[in-house]
Amino acid sequence: MRAKFIKVHSWMQLMKIPVLSVLFVLSSLALPAGAGDSHDAKSTDGQKKHKQNEQQRVQQNKAQSIKRGKQLYYANNCQSCHTIGNRGAKFGPALDKLGKHASALEMSEEIHGGADEPEMDFKTRHLTKDEQRSIIDFLLSVQDKATKQAGSH
């Protein structure tokens, strides 16, 4: 019975310890001041670097897509009907301003299925979606260049 009293008594003694003392002990066990901040700074720096790398990769992919689109545009003889700037035939619509009037989806549908008016004899159904996307990226890049040049004059 006496052992039981000692255990209760010890617990009761602990209850008398001031709350601030407990907080002091607990805070001394925590990380040194600023340690969490450096981890947060490293994490933020890592996130910034990852975001920059991601942006660079997207820009490189876009540049490659534009280059491939230009190759496909000329390899598929699109210039035999269309113009970009003052180059090409004027049978079909000029493509350097197409992005102002058509969405990428509409452009893709036109490339894939051809236009109804004027009837497009040369079908481009053989192009994959990626190839179509590259041609569209090329056409939009040409439009962007024309817009920038017009704005600088």
Give 79-130 pLDDT, tens digit per residue: 988 889 888 888 888 888 877 778 888 888 877 776 666 566 666 778 899 9
Q: Right CATH number for 61-148 from 1.10.10.10, 3.40.50.300, 1.10.760.10, 1.10.240.10?
A: 1.10.760.10
| Statement: residue 16 has pLDDT above 70 | no
Between the CA of residue 35 and those of 22, 26, 66, what are the distances in Å? 22, 16, 47
Rounded average pLDDT over 130-143: 91
- Residue 149: predicted pLDDT: 61
Provide the CA 66 distance to its chain's centre, in angstroms.
17
- Residue 45: predicted pLDDT: 82
Q: Which two tokens stand for residue 18?
A: 């001031």
The more confidently predicted of residues 144 and 15 is 144
- Residue 41: predicted pLDDT: 64
| Statement: residue 78 has pLDDT above 70 | yes
Model confidence at 53, pLDDT cuts 50, 70, 90, reads confident
Q: Which of 127, 88, 87 is nearest to 108 (CA)?
A: 127
